[in-house]
Structure 1
Amino acid sequence: MTTTASSGFGPLRQTVFAVLWVATIIGNIGSFARDIASSWLVTDLSSSPLAVAMVQAAATLPVFLLAIPAGVLSDILDRRKFLIGIQILMASVSICLLLLSATGLQTILSLVALTFVGGIGAALMGPTWQAIVPELVKKQDLRDAVALNSLGINIARAIGPALGGIVLATFGTSVTYGVDVISYLFVITALLWWKRAKTDSDELAEKFFGAFRAGLRYTMASRELHVVLLRTFLFFAFCSSVWALLPLVARRVLGGDAGFYGILLGAVGVGAIAGAFLLPTLRQKCSADGLLLLASIITASVMALLSIAPPQWLAVVALVVLGCGWIIALTTFNGVAQSILPNWVRGRSLAVYLTVFNGAMTAGSLAWGALAQSAGVQETLFIGAIGIIVIGVVSYRLRLPKGESDLLPSNHWPEPLTAEVVEHDRGPVLIQIEYDVDPQHRAPFLKAIYNLAYERRRDGAYNWGITEDSANPRILLEWFMVESWAEHLRQHRRVSKADADIQAELLQYHTGDEPPKVRHFITTPRP
């Protein structure tokens, strides 16, 4: 197949992206092999469904707890060096798993604890790895690069579990963990090879806690992101049932061994690869909302089939179909999230997205495991299938954003006038903008300015309001507050071209020969 932008493979023509993409696939193959070993080992150590679910939860809980701080770090640290450190941490975890398994000292407690530490590495890596994508590809290739990353993960999902199952059945858990250790060497080598462009020192560079607060403010003010997060949580909270219970489905319901469990997960990867190739055609025929409804129907159908204990060959076919639905959902959610985020807060907001995703998977895994403990595995799968259909139909009415806004910085705000140099840490800062609005235009002006309020809050304001002059109702005063002078200067950089369009709409209601008067007030320190 010719690699062209129109085919979705354009980003692979860019060498750095291609090398890191291949290295990531190798690393994920090792990770999936490790997960096979851990998932099967826990069924040897304990027959409790809750113990199986605990291992699943230990892998995702750190991502839920730490993804947002990880996103902050990805926005303020050198991402290349940060990723190298994370890979070393995760390799160390697999070395410990290898040694404990080889010496027969592995227990449920140690397995859960090491899985949790590995989850910390995954929490730190997730938002950072996604945030580097815009650095590796051209803007027009960004969506294809996101899709290729999802494809790469599922290529690894197709190979890793099957490889892990074969190695596990042939050589045992310690050798399987060794495969994962070797895979990290490829990723570290690729990251060392990547000569990331050095960024100039920036006197306005954010510090951790300030960046953390700015990311939370953006998340709280972005209505588009709220829709993505809500629908992500609902979908994956119910879909987590099939992943949390799959080891038990393979062993108890379908009567398989470790190799068969690897085949099932490999089938998911094969289906995901097929789904990735089908996605360009599906996107032409379905909206993002339609794709997610299709993914819900596919997932629910597979879960219902597994609940009646089908023959093993039919279960493998069903897992191929499940993989297709899984990649449709993952790529759709991730693509929409990437398309609505500006670069300055991409790592932090993607971290919030990953927090919601993994929080849904963690809570779902524990809840479905507890339900299976009392109601049974097959009954739980059927209940989950019904829930996915209901949620899919209901959430279809809550439309996802199209992600078509131009989020590049507009740089149209003039530098604020100051009588003297203002220290960056001074604050809070109050900004006032005075408008002269004809009474007949008051209603559309207020509608426009309340839309602008979301932009002010997303870009750094922690408080906002609109007031009128009691002596002259034509004079409307917009005000907002930011925590420091440096944060206000950053706000100048963050205003996007889409935001500039909103401000241009607002200014058409301002009368008078002069533009709206802007004033800045800085808190005066107490003598």
Structure 2
Amino acid sequence: MITSNRLSSRPRISPRTVRRLLHRRPVQALARDKKEVSPLEDPATLEPAETVSATQGILGKTFSSLRHANYRYLWFGTVFMSAGQWIQQVTLGWLLYDLTGSSILLGALNGLRALPFLIASPIAGVVADRVDRKKILTAAQYVLMTSTVGMGVLVAMGVAAVWHLFVFTLITAIAWAFTDPVRQSMVPTLVPKEDLINAVALNSAAFNMTKVVGPSIGGLLIVAFGAAGNFFVQGAAYIAVLISIYWMVIPPAPTEAMRSSALANLKEGLLYVWSNPTVFALLTAACLLRRAWGRCWRDCYWLGWVIGSGARVS
């Protein structure tokens, strides 16, 4: 009787409740299921996320030096200045050949452009160690801007002569011969040591990129606006460079170089190049490659003339 009473006193569980309890999953199973279907750990979700992270890492390393504001201003200024330089080279060559039809004068113009780089570049390196580099860059950009706009005005008025082109080429080449060493010497002072190699590589990439794109842009601008419009576009590019120089905070020049004369510094640099086999080999290779590349450009001009003549005949 007691047993019967106890059994009868227990609450009765309906079949529906039993079925519900049997189909209920433990808490651990629910957590495991949630983890299995979590989008954060789903292989379909993880693969794109890892790809994006890897891509961001590569891009971050490639352009790591651009996170420094002063170097960023220098780099973008280098892009505009180098682009203007190559646009100008194409424009002057086209204009001189259009005025004279002489390939000899065209070669002489290119030779005149290279002469200041050979003579003034070593002197510019010595000057950069003694004078405020920001003042050197600013002065050179004002010379480039005013002379380029003035040349554009002469071409637009139809009074440009051959000697104008040679004088203009000499002035701008001297300005470039001073700005290029100064810009290169500023790179180690604008980025930390860990970003120096990347900064040098990006600086070289800026020159090479504009070397490819600049002549193409110059040709398109000649077709669209004429030679005069090309000079005005170059002047606008130099204004952009001036703005970037204004925003830059440039460290002062090292004081060690001022302890000796400028001639002694120049002699010391030449002796260092001569006594260091690695540096001497690199400079020699660079000169030889540049000379070979110059011959390639000469052949490209001739090939372009032949292709253009064929197009005219057809």
1:120 partnered with 2:174: yes
- Mapped pair 1:225 → 2:313: no
* Aligned partner of residue 145 in structure 1, secondary structure: helix
Q: CA–CA distance in 2 between the matches of 1:37 and 1:30?
A: 10
Rounded Cα–Cα distance in structure 1 between residues aligned with 2:293 and 2:211: 17
1:254 corresponding residue in structure 2: 307
- The two structures have a TM-score, normalised by structure 1, of 0.45
**Is 1:104 matched up with 2:147?**
no
Query: Which residue does 1:35 correspond to in 2?
Result: 89
What is the aligned counterpart of 1:24 among 68, 73, 78? 78
The percent identity for this pair of structures is 25
* Alignment correspondent of 1:151: 205
- For residues 129 and 192 of structure 2, the distance between their equivalents in structure 1, rounded to whole angstroms, comes to 19
**1-structure distance, mates of 2:57, 2:108:** 43
Q: Evaluate the alpha carbon distance shift between residue 217 and residue 155 of structure 1 in structure 2; reply closer, same or farther with a 3 A threshold.
A: closer
Q: Displacement, 1:204?
A: 5.4
User: Alpha-carbon deviation of 1:241?
Assistant: 0.7
Looking at secondary structure, tell me which structure has more helix per residue: 2
Where structure 1 has 5 or more consecutive residues not aligned to the other structure, the ranges are 257-308, 312-527
User: How far apart in 1 are the matches of 2:192 and 2:77?
Assistant: 20
Q: Which residue of 2 aligns with 1:329?
A: none
Alpha-carbon distance in structure 1 between the residues aligned to 2:101 and 2:173:
23
Higher RCO (CA < 8 A, seq sep 6+): 2
Shift of 1:200: 8.4
Residue identity in the other structure for 2:225: F
Q: Deviations over 1:228-280 (max 9, x none)?
A: 222223332222112234333322x2117xxxxxxxxxxxxxxxxxxxxxxxx
2:64 maps to 1:10 = yes
Mapped to 1, the partners of 2:300 and 2:257 lie a distance apart of: 51
> Where do 1:60-79 residues align within 5 Å?
60-79=114-133
**Matching of residues 180-219 of structure 1 within 5 Å:** 180-198=234-252, 205-219=259-273
Matching residue of 2:219: 165
Could you tell me which amino acid in structure 1 is paired with residue 308 of structure 2?
G
Runs ≥4 residues deviating over 4 A? 3-6, 198-204
| C-alpha distance in 2 between matches for 1:108 and 1:153 | 29
- Number of the residue aligned with 1:287: none
Structure 2, gaps ≥5 residues long:
1-54
Worse overlay, 155-164 or 231-240: 155-164
Q: Which residue of 2 aligns with 1:370?
A: none
Q: Structure 2 length normalisation: TM-score?
A: 0.74
- The Cα shift of 1:221 comes to 2.4
Give the CA deviation at 1:38: 0.8
In structure 2, which of residues 102, 106, 131 is the aligned counterpart of residue 52 of structure 1?
106
Specify the structure having the higher radius of gyration (Cα): 2
Structure 1 residues 362-377: aligned runs within 5 Å: none
CA distance in 2, matches of 1:156, 1:48: 27
CA deviations on 1:80-106 (whole Å, 9 max, x unpaired) are: 211111111111221232122112222
TM-superposed deviation, 1:153: 2.2
Q: What is the CA-CA distance between 1:119 and the residue it aligns to?
A: 0.8
1:134 to 188, 209, 233: 188
Aligned length: 257
Alignment pair present for 1:81 and 2:135? yes
CA RMSD of aligned residues (A): 2.5
Higher strand residue share: 1
Displacement, 1:78?
Answer: 1.5
